[in-house]
């Protein structure tokens, strides 16, 4: 999965958001429309082509309301973009927004 795929699906309106991701947005006071609007400007940090649930990736996004946000995106069986989960990259798992802490 690459950023061009994400941009195309967002532009075409061929995306959906999981219930889990909606819950995470609500918990973090994030607007879904704002998230989707900025997803196309994101940067893919990690690609998971062999994920058992289907190809997915970790996208770093910058939103006006938060410094940085991680968005895990995947593809469904109809080739739609699926926003799987959303979180802020924080300690102890992350050194900064781009660097995963090594154990």
Name the residue ranges covered by the structural domains of the chain.
3-87
Indicate the CATH number for domain 3-87: 3.30.2310.40
Rounded to 5 degrees, φ, ψ at 36 are: -65, -40
Select from 18, 14, 11 the least CA-distant residue to 86.
Answer: 18
Render pLDDT for 16-69 as a digit per residue (tens, 0 to 9). 999 999 999 999 999 999 999 999 999 999 999 999 888 999 999 998 887 899
The answer, yes or no, to whether residue 91 has pLDDT greater than 90, is: no
> Taking the model in full, what pTM does it have?
0.92
């Amino acid at each position: 999965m690459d950023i061009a795929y994400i941009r195309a699906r967002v532009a075409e309106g061929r995306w959906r958001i999981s219930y889990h991701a909606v819950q995470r947005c609500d918990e973090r006071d994030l607007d879904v429309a704002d998230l989707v609007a900025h997803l196309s400007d994101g940067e893919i940090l990690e690609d998971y082509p062999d994920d058992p649930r289907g190809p997915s990736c970790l996208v770093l996004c910058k939103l006006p309301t938060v410094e940085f946000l991680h968005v895990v995106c995947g593809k469904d069986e109809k080739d739609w973009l699926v926003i799987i989960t959303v979180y802020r990259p924080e300690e102890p798992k992350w050194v900064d927004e781009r660097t995963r802490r090594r154990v």
